[in-house]
Amino acid sequence: MKKFEPRPGFVVQAFRFALDPNMTQDAALRSHCGAARVAYNWAVSWVAASWWQRRAEESYGIPEDCLTPWRPWSLPALRKEFNQAKKTDPRFVGWWENSKEAYNTGLAGAAAALDNYAKSKRGQRKGKRVGLPRRKSKHRARLACRFTTGTIRIEPDRRHVTLPRLGTIRTHENTRKLQRRLANGTAHILSATVRSERGRWFVSFQAEIQRVTSVPARPDVAVGVDLGIKHLAVIADSQGEVRFEPNPAHLDGALKKLWRLSRQVSRRQGPDRRTGQRPSKRWVEANAACNRVHHRVANLRMDAIHKLTTTIAAEYGHGVVEDLNVAGMLKNRRLARKIVDAGFGEIRRQLTYKTGWTGGLLHIADRWYPSSKTCSDCGHVKAKLPLHVRAFHCDFCPLVMDRDENAARNLAALAAAGMTGTGVAGDPDAQASNDRGADQKTRATRPSRKAGPGRAGGAIPRQRKEAVHRHQDTEALTLW
């Protein structure tokens, strides 16, 4: 399916508003989201049934040309089959009062999930390997539904929105930031998505808006942003100015209250799906109080990240951030909670699109660029710099500096030099020394203890086999 491309001078932006539905509207919202879940489960089961049937037939020795044909999982094919099945399947009798967009939401999600699985099997998809899509549980699935056609508008009073089949729903906040653009003709609504998050309903309007090209306050100044835990960000620019953004650590401030509320929840009678036990009213109240604290922490974290990224994007014309391996950093059990609370990935995501809005450029430094190990004065690269050493002491010059500030200065010099890989902050034309362990891991595999010729200590490196990725067509997909 061809991806939507905005018109020249326009960008696609989402506007999110909290809703205040009444009891009838709340039930209708849940019904639409349930219909999307039912359609998703039907599509996944319908496609996977042919895969399992082919697997069983292959075990019986049936030849390839006589096996059950593959069922397509494209969105048009799923729509066609679902329109036939819903007329005879008794499972869909109770869902007719919902909009057709609810079923289309589930079918589109199933088509995307199956396509990601197929591409992952063929080796055409980056990232972690994707498994076979599974059915969504009624109790654990996230409530969401997307509308692309029908009556989707923001009312002129700026306090109500209208959605297909759901009617007019009051918003918790004013919608003027989008309604003004719609009235001026500088915005056009593409779709609307309702979602239940953090104990309340939200609606997100995806709109094509006309954005005036802006210029950063200091377009010729480059900035390096070093993310950390002690300081959320150390910002150093090419003119020598350094700022330390403190880490709010919202979760740490709420831990004491969370521990107390969690003890209350654990001491009360909760739900048990195995025995059919229903939660007590006191458990529901305690669990809601605990969730409110989590929601408040998440909102405060997002607010702080938005303010930080907006300030950086609006001030500097060029910036560099590190390509952090956040998933690997979370394996450190002593720092995992603080790393998650900082939101490194969200900061990079917001900087990426906000610098595009302001006309700036954001570069991603190579993951193995030794920003912390490189001296920002003379360019010498240390071989080792443990995490517990918080001050950088250069071995070739008298520089003594906080390691985060030193890393930020190196990233700022990298931005000023127009590089995204290796380089030295003090001299952009100089090359970093290739000391062992300075630019990447010192050892890929554990050395053998057995003595052998040709190496000191008798260690023989383990030979790695090259991974062979065989192209797999649709007919070659398997379930294991």
Residues 226, 237, 245, 405: which is the catalytic one? 226
d(CA 35, CA 113): 18
Residue 220 annotated to the active site? no
C-alpha to C-alpha distances, 44 to 37, 50, 73, 117, nearest whole angstrom: 11, 11, 9, 12
d(CA 288, CA 184): 42
Backbone angles phi, psi at 353, to 5 degrees: -85, -25
Backbone angles phi, psi at 21, to 5 degrees: -75, 150
Q: Are 37 and 136 in contact (CB under 8 A)?
A: yes
d(CA 342, CA 332): 15
Residues 101, 237, 245, 322: which is the catalytic one? 322
d(CA 34, CA 45): 17
Residues 245, 315, 404, 405: which is the catalytic one? 404
Residue 322 annotated to the active site? yes
**Of 301, 319, 297, residue with least CA distance to 232:** 301
- The residues, any chain, with a CB within 8 Å of residue 38's CB and separated by 6 or more, are 91, 92, 95, 106
**Of 314, 19, 316, 46, residue with least CA distance to 169:** 19
Query: Is 218 in a helix, a strand, or coil?
Result: strand
Residue 64 annotated to the active site? no
**Of 348, 350, 345, 404, residue with least CA distance to 376:** 404
Q: Which residues are catalytic?
A: 226, 322, 404
